[in-house]
Amino acid sequence: MKRPPPPLLALLAGLAQQAWTSPAPPSAPRRALAIATAAASVGLAGAAAAQFRAHHTTVEPFDPSKASALVVSGANSVTRNPMYVGMAGLLVANAIRLRDWRALLPFAAFVGAIDRFQIAAEEKALAEKFGADYAAYRSAVPRWIGARSVR
pLDDT in tens, the chain (151 residues): 688 999 999 999 999 999 999 877 889 999 999 999 999 999 999 999 999 999 999 888 777 778 899 999 999 999 999 999 999 999 999 999 999 999 999 999 999 999 999 999 999 999 999 999 999 999 999 999 876 655 5
What angle, 0 to 180 degrees and rounded to 10, lies between the N-to-C axes of helices 104-113 and 82-98?
170
Taking residue 2's Cβ as centre, other Cβ atoms within 10 Å add up to: 4
Residue 142 near residue 149 (C-beta atoms within 8 A): yes
Length of the chain (residues): 151
What integer pLDDT is reported at residue 7 of this predicted model? 95
Ramachandran region of residue 33, left (φ > 0), alpha (ψ -120 to 50) or beta? alpha
What integer pLDDT is reported at residue 103 of this predicted model? 95
What integer pLDDT is reported at residue 117 of this predicted model? 93
Among the residues of 5-119, which ranges form H helices?
A: 6-20, 28-54, 82-98, 104-113
What integer pLDDT is reported at residue 148 of this predicted model? 63
What integer pLDDT is reported at residue 64 of this predicted model? 78
